[in-house]
Amino acid sequence: MAIASLPPRPHAPSRMVPPAPAALGPALVDVLFPSARAEHRQAFVRHWPALADYYGLDAHPWRREFFLAQLGHESGGLAMLEENLHYEARRLLAVFPGHFRTLEEAQACAAAPERLANRVFGGRMGNGDEASGDGYRYRGRGYVRLTGRETYREIGRLTGLPLESQPDLACHPDHALHCAAAFWTWRGLNELADAGRFEAVTRHLHATLHGLEDRQAWLDKVRRVLAGPPAEMLLDVPAVLRLQRALQQQGYAELGAADGQVGPRTLAAVARFRQDHGLGPGGIDGRFLDRLASI
In the chain, what percentage of residues exceed pLDDT 70? 89
Mean pLDDT of 93-109: 87
**DSSP-assigned beta bridge partners for residue 146:** 141
Q: For 3-81+143-224, which CATH class? A: mainly alpha
Q: Is the pLDDT of residue 6 over 90?
A: no
pLDDT band for 1, please (50, 70, 90 cuts): very low
pTM assigned to the model: 0.72
Q: Evaluate if residue 58 carries a pLDDT over 80.
A: yes
Per-residue model confidence (pLDDT) at position 232: 47
Answer for the pair 150, 134: CB distance below 8 angstroms, yes or no: no
| pLDDT score at 22 | 61
Asked which of 166-180, 188-202, 229-243 is least confident by mean pLDDT, the reply is 229-243
Given a cut of 80, whether residue 9 has pLDDT beyond it is no
Q: By C-alpha distance, which of 163, 212, 165, 213 is closest to 183?
A: 163
Q: What is the mean pLDDT of the chain?
A: 87
Q: What is the mean pLDDT of residues 149-156?
A: 98
The model's confidence at residue 295, banded by pLDDT at 50, 70 and 90, is confident
Region 195-212 average pLDDT: 91
Average pLDDT of the residues in 226-232 = 59
Averaged pLDDT, 95-123: 89
pLDDT at 5 over 90: no
Give the residue extent of every domain in the chain. 3-81+143-224, 89-137, 227-294
The span from the CA of 98 to the CA of 84, in Å, is: 19
Confidence of residue 101 (pLDDT cuts 50, 70, 90): confident
Q: How far apart are CA 192 and CA 187, in angstroms?
A: 10
- For the residues 267-293, what does the mean pLDDT come to? 83
Contact 182, 52 (CB under 8 A): no
Q: What is the mean predicted confidence (pLDDT) over 214-222?
A: 92
d(CA 184, CA 86): 27
The mean pLDDT of 250-269, rounded to a whole number, is: 88
Query: For 83-107, what is the mean pLDDT?
Result: 88
| Rounded average pLDDT over 103-112 | 88
